[in-house]
Amino acid sequence: MLNLDQKVLKLLNKEQFLSGQKMADQLGVSRTAVWKSIQNLKRDGYKVESVTNKGYMLTRSSDKLTETLLSSMISQSDLFTDIIYRESVDSTQKVAFQYISEKQQPFIVVSNEQTGGRGRFNREWLSPKSSGLYMSAVLKPDIELNEIIKFNLFISLAIARAIEKSFNLQTGIKWPNDIYINDKKVCGFLTEVLSENNMIQSIICGIGINLYETQSVKEINNATSIESELRKNDRMVIEMELFLNHLVKEIEHYYELFLSTPFSTIKDDWVSKSIIFGRGMRISEMNRSYMGKPVDITDDGFLVVTDEAGEIHKIISADIEF
């Protein structure tokens, strides 16, 4: 159930003023209560213009992660039924695993900071406070375990499209689970599963996105942030609500496609976003490492690589470096 702040936020829009009295009448509260909620929204980072005899108008969404923002977002979701917010966690993946057994429907975990964030191969993912978006989306499919290969392909498109729609920045996908802007990494995601008898019960997809430029991002040669890329175009505003709404909607869209259609239906889109094809790189698998060039991706999600000797490899899991 929405609290009063969330209800007031739902009434406000960016196109016209709405009087405090009209909001009070619609919500069945006093004008003073509406005014207090407006002040709370301002403290949460929302820009609300107030004009005598006209009322209030939302001029910019919040750039902060707040419970009001998250509750408003989840109330509009067609897939996720709950969102768990923590100011600081070891990792959102760990929190997600703690809640899986008690939540039967898809849900999201979001935090403002991770002290033990991790990526593929248990690598550290730096997650300083108020500098990025750290979340885990828990999905509840009933599919065979081998289908998870293709899940990453769908979800990478979802994240890339959300960034483009929110910030008008051109993105690229680096197989298997990174999103790049201008040849630098801005996002990584980690997909884990719970399965039984070769059937997936839950997908836990952890997503880390560098939103703001921090010292830790600056110190990594191939890393960037949304803020850094926006600054190049003399744009600085990161509207967190807009971005989260786009991200959740794109995840919902591509998850539905993942469940209902083969990868071949989005293969051309994925290939057009990929930044790996035709580039020489080092491919490191479990027991070998070699130089090669990715040349294709199969309909069942295997990356096709040609090595320096001309031998063709089909790989399902590997580390690739430009």
310 is in an annotated binding site: no
Q: Which amino acid is at 116?
A: G
135 lies in the same domain as 213: yes
**Judgement on whether residues 77 and 35 belong to the same structural domain of the protein:** no
Nearest residue to 81 (alpha-carbon basis) of 101, 106, 57, 60: 106
| Residue 295 and residue 281 in contact, taking contact as beta carbons nearer than 8 Å | no
Q: What's the CATH number where 307 sits?
A: 2.30.30.100
Q: What is the pLDDT of residue 120?
A: 64
Structural domain ending residue among the three candidates 234, 251, 271: 271
**For residue 152, which amino acid is it?**
N
Domain that holds residue 17: 4-60
- CA–CA dist 198, 201 (Å, integer): 10
Give the model's pLDDT for residue 13.
Answer: 72
Judged against a pLDDT cut of 70, whether residue 87 lies above it is answered with: yes
Query: Are 163 and 84 contained in the same domain?
Result: yes
Whole-number Å distance between alpha carbons of 220 and 283:
21
Residue 237: pLDDT over 80: no
Residues 6+ apart with CB under 8 A from 164: 170, 171
| CA 161/CA 166 separation, integer angstroms | 8
- pLDDT of 276 > 90? The answer is yes
Give the total number of structural domains in the chain: 3
Look at residues 44, 60, 76 and tell me which one is the last residue of a structural domain: 60
Is 93 known as a binding-site position? no
Q: What are phi and psi of 161, to 5 degrees?
A: -65, -40
> Are residues 171 and 296 located together in one domain of the fold?
no
Higher-confidence position of 246 and 239: 246
Domain match, 38 and 77 both: no
Contact 308, 269 (CB under 8 A): no
- Least confident span in 146-155, 158-167, 183-192, 216-225: 216-225
Cβ neighbors of 59 (< 8 A, separation 6 or more) are: 14, 47, 48, 49
Return the higher-pLDDT residue of 20 and 14: 20
Buried b (16+ CB within 10 A) or exposed e, 188-222: bbbbebeeeeeebebbbbbbbbbbebbeebeeeee
Report percent pLDDT > 90 for the chain: 72
Q: Annotation-wise, does 119 bind a ligand?
A: yes
Average pLDDT over residues 153-179: 97
Question: 88 and 24, same structural domain?
Answer: no
Task: Tell me: is residue 118 an annotated ligand-binding position.
Answer: yes
Local confidence band at 241 (pLDDT 50, 70, 90 cut-offs): confident
Reported confidence tier of residue 6, pLDDT bands at 50, 70, 90? confident
The rounded mean pLDDT for the chain is 91
Do 104 and 236 share a structural domain? yes
Q: Tell me: pLDDT of 217 over 90.
A: no
pTM for this entry: 0.88
Supply the CATH number for residue 11's domain: 1.10.10.10
16 plus 147 within the same structural domain: no
Give yes or no: residues 149 and 99 share one domain.
yes
263: alpha, beta or left? (left if phi > 0; alpha if psi -120 to 50): alpha
* pLDDT score recorded for residue 216: 67
Separation of alpha carbons 294 and 307, rounded Å: 9
Q: What is the pLDDT of residue 253?
A: 98
Q: What CATH number is associated with residue 256?
A: 3.30.930.10
Consecutive H or E run containing 27 = helix 20-27
- Say yes or no: 231 and 303 in one domain: no
Compute and round to an integer the Cα radius of gyration of the chain. Answer: 22
* Whether residue 212 sits in one domain with residue 120: yes
| Shared-domain flag, residues 78 and 149 | yes
